[in-house]
Amino acid sequence: MNWALTHTLTTLLLLAIPALFVIGAVQSRGQRDRCHLPLAMPLAALVLTSALAVAYAAGQLQPFALLQLQPLTLVMLALISFLALVIMRFSQRYMDGEVNAWRYAQWLQLTLAAVTLVIISNHLALLWLGWVLISLALHNLLMFYPERPRAALGAHKKFLLARLAETCLLLAFALLYQVHGSAYLSDIVAAYGSAPALNGMEQAAMLLIATTALIKCAQLPVHGWLMQVVEAPTPISALLHAGVINLGGFLLISFAPLLLLSQPAQWLLLVVAGISTVLAALIMATRISVKVRLAWSTSAQMGLMLVECALGLFELALLHLVAHSLYKAYAFLNAGSAVQQYLLQQWLPQRGAHCANWSLAAAISLPLVALATWLVAPQGPYSPWLLLALALTVLLARRDQVSLARWGVLAVALLAAYSLLKLTSATLLVDYQIALSVWNDVWVAGLVIALFGLRSWLTRSRSAAAQRFNLYLYAGFYLDEWFTRTTLRLWPARIPKRANAKRTAGKQQSLAHSLSNPE
């Protein structure tokens, strides 16, 4: 087959995926009396992705330089198309009878189109444009209920943070273009195959990209909007947590060789995302609202994914991205049942694990994880395996009315599945053999131990210090309150008041505390 024809056909197939969602959005706009979400669009996107995967495996087909077609691209396209199919089908029933449901359908599909545009982009300008379009389309979804104060405040903060992240990304791309003289992502990444040292401009660019990922993934202290926009319709929360917020990890995976050569960017991610992971995981346990707990969980999971990228474990970050997306989509779309399950768990008697249980669990899980580490990753980093060992220990120690043998089999199955999936995802990415500092691993291991240690202390201790620390956790250490006041002071917004709310003499900043805490 003629190469020009092959490139043209591949390019058209890739562009057809975002075009399908744009066509669906145009069709939805004409259906103003109902929520018209044509499921044929995500189904066609899945078919096109499958066809591209087969063609790529058979002949290493590539589009024109403006777009990219790699295993990572295909995995992300398949994930987004599948999530789109599930969310759109759920939305047809959920939004039935809703006023302005056509507007929801329109912006949902435009958001999906922008996400797929980011995934297939190989040109820095096109990639940046896709990021901007995602945030603008998503803002209209988050403001679907403009009369809700917390939703409006969260959308306002998200809008400003998106502009900050896009500015950082634009500056980073400008610096990389200045160094390489090329705006193609493939050319820039290929220049670091021999592991050269980064100059000052490249280090600054990678710091800006890391900052963009931290902002996009809602890491502390710019996390509050993620908890407040849960007042948007549930399918929007599912889309945000499953298909949009994790694009920060996708960005870092795309710039993997640069990140591996930038110690400042690695430490920025390790410190900010690492601390965010620990605090968000602890704060999540203090929440009652199921959707708010899921939002804090997302912040913690995104922090852990960014830490994995900083450690050079891009295959683990990709596995984490896919697994988290599928789980969070299910969790939010099943939020109604989750409330009943949570209440049922609260009514059941709570049994603590005895010391003998912990000892036996550790005696089983630690050797299993050590064996898997030796077989799968004989060379570090080892801190993720420490996290896995502690998680399996907790799983076994808290078994209830189930034989230890069954839990042991489950632990072995989970460990085997994790190891195999990690190895499989590694085959989808380029292996960059660049040595990382051992102190990165030591820092993350310390964070893992601190997380489990603090959780155990808060669960068992009745001291005044534990109660005071738990109070600060419930308040989120007042980080979002400070950020909200600062945001409203620098860029005021008209936040609607609650219906039938008592009038107070306070001005806009006085709403910060109540609006920053959804519970």
Which among 102, 122, 142 is the end of a domain?
122
Residue 197 located in a structural domain: yes
Structure tokens at 111: 């958001």
The verdict on 430 and 389 lying in the same domain is: yes
Considering the domain architecture, whether residues 35 and 129 belong to the same structural domain is answered as no
Cis peptide upstream of residue 264 (ω within 30 degrees of 0): no
Q: pLDDT at position 380, please?
A: 72
Number of domains in the chain: 3
The residues, any chain, with a CB within 8 Å of residue 383's CB and separated by 6 or more, are 311, 441, 442, 444, 445, 447, 448
pLDDT at 502 over 50: no
Residue 326's pLDDT band, with cuts at 50, 70 and 90, is very high
Kindly report the three-state secondary structure assignment for every residue of 177-230. HHHHCCCEHHHHHHCCCCCCCCCHHHHHHHHHHHHHHHHHCCCCCCCHHHHHHH
Asked if the structure places residue 365 within a domain, the reply is: yes
Does residue 15 carry a pLDDT above 70? yes
Handedness of CA 34, 25, 115, 492 (dihedral sign): negative
Q: Is 97 left (phi over 0), alpha (psi -120 to 50) or beta?
A: left
Residue 211 within any structural domain of the chain: yes
Q: What is the pLDDT of residue 33?
A: 62
Whether pLDDT at 504 is above 60 = no
3-class SS at 47? helix
- CB-based burial of residue 358 (10 Å sphere; 0-12 exposed, 13-18 middle, 19+ buried)? middle
Would you say residue 507 has pLDDT above 60? Answer: no
Confidence of residue 213 (pLDDT cuts 50, 70, 90): very high
Give, in degrees to the nearest 5, the angle at Cα 107 between 103 and 109: 120
B/e letters for 463-499, b = 16+ CB within 10 Å, e = fewer, are eeeeeebbeebebbeebbbebbbebbeeeeeebeeee
C-alpha separations of 257 from 185, 333, 485 in Å: 12, 37, 39
Domain match, 249 and 205 both: yes
Least confident range of 266-270, 282-286, 299-303, 359-363: 359-363
Burial of 51 (0-12, 13-18, 19+ CB in 10 A): exposed
My answer on whether 310 and 197 are in the same domain is yes
127: number of Cβ within 10 Å: 21
302 and 378 part of one domain = no
Q: How far from chain centre, in Å, is Cα 203?
A: 24
518 and 381 in a common domain? no
Residues 317 and 276 in one domain: yes
Residue linked to tokens 């945001």: 487
Domain span at 114: 1-122
Q: What is the pLDDT of residues 216-248, one digit of tens each?
A: 999 999 999 998 888 888 899 999 999 899 999
Whether residues 330 and 301 fall in one domain: yes
Nearest to 151 by CA among 435, 480, 496: 496
> Does residue 454 lie within any of the structural domains?
no
Mean pLDDT of the 325-340 span: 78
- 129 within a domain of the structure (yes/no): yes
> What integer is the mean pLDDT of 499-503?
45
Domain boundary among 95, 122, 149: 122
Other CB atoms within a 10 A radius of the CB of residue 106 amount to 25
Query: Is 517 among the domain residues?
Result: yes
Helix 290-310 vs helix 200-216: crossing angle, to nearest 10: 160
Task: Tell whether 97 and 148 lie within a shared domain.
Answer: no
pLDDT, residue 426, reads: 80
The pLDDT value recorded for residue 388 is 87
Q: CB atoms < 10 A from the CB of 11, how many?
A: 18
Which residues face 121 on adjacent strands? 67
- pTM for the full model? 0.91
Where is 154: in which H helix or E strand? helix 149-180
Q: Are residues 100 and 139 in the same domain?
A: no
- Least Cα distance to 121 among 210, 15, 24 occurs for 15
Per the structure block, which two tokens stand in for 114? 């922008």
Tokens 């990021």 sit at which residue?
131
Contact 429, 256 (CB under 8 A): yes
Summarised one tens digit per residue, pLDDT across range 345-394 is: 555 444 555 677 788 888 888 888 888 888 776 667 889 889 988 888 88
Contact between 487 and 156 (Cβ < 8 Å): yes
The C-alpha atoms of residue 433 and residue 153 are separated, in whole angstroms, by 45
420 and 466 share a domain? Answer: no
> What is the predicted pLDDT for the residue at 503?
41
Q: Is 370 found in the same domain as 329?
A: no
Nearest-angstrom CA–CA distance, 201 and 311: 22
| CA end-to-end span of the chain | 61
- Are 38 and 80 contacting, i.e. CB atoms less than 8 angstroms apart? no
Choose between 165 and 509: higher pLDDT: 165
Q: How far apart are CA 519 and CA 343, in angstroms?
A: 16
**pLDDT one-digit tens code per residue, 149-158:** 888 999 999 9
Flag the least confident range among 123-137, 244-258, 481-495.
481-495
Please determine, for residue 406, whether its predicted confidence score (pLDDT) is greater than 80. no
Among the ranges given (71-80, 130-139, 430-439), the one the predictor scored with the smallest mean pLDDT: 430-439
| pLDDT at position 338 | 54
pLDDT, position 437 = 81
Amino acid (1-letter code) at residue 326: L
Residue 405 belongs to some domain of the structure: yes
Query: Does 471 map to a domain?
Result: yes
Q: Structure tokens of 378?
A: 């004989």
Q: 195-199, 264-268, 380-384 — which is least confidently predicted?
A: 195-199
Q: Between 98 and 499, whose confidence is greater?
A: 98
Residue-by-residue DSSP string for 479-490: HHHHHHHHHHHH
Question: Which residue, 385, 400, 435, sits at the end of a domain?
Answer: 435
Position 501 confidence tier, pLDDT thresholds 50, 70, 90:
very low
- Taking the C-alpha atoms of residue 22 and residue 394, their distance in angstroms, rounded to an integer, is 47
Percent of the chain with pLDDT over 70: 87
